[in-house]
Amino acid sequence: MKSQRGIAMIEYMLVFAALLVTLLTPLDDNYMPSQNGRNIIERLNDAIRQNQTAYEEATSIGVLR
């Protein structure tokens, strides 16, 4: 039983490492690996900021009549 828990931990670590590499790999605008690109976390952060800015602008306009 003890060795099965150890194997499961190794599997979790491998999946975590693969996910981390995927999220941190720099990509160009065509989503191909590139040295000068931005990674998925940066792109997601920019998209969330843009959506938040658009939401704030939309709510500050008020109700149009």
Assessment of whether the complete model's pTM goes beyond 0.85: no
Dist. CA 32–CA 41, nearest whole Å? 15
Domain boundaries, the chain: 2-61
Confidence of residue 65 (pLDDT cuts 50, 70, 90): low
The string of pLDDT tens digits covering residues 17-59 is 999 999 999 999 898 999 999 999 999 999 999 999 999 998 8
What integer pLDDT is reported at residue 31 of this predicted model? 85
Closest CA to 38 of 50, 25, 53: 25
Dist. CA 40–CA 25, nearest whole Å? 7
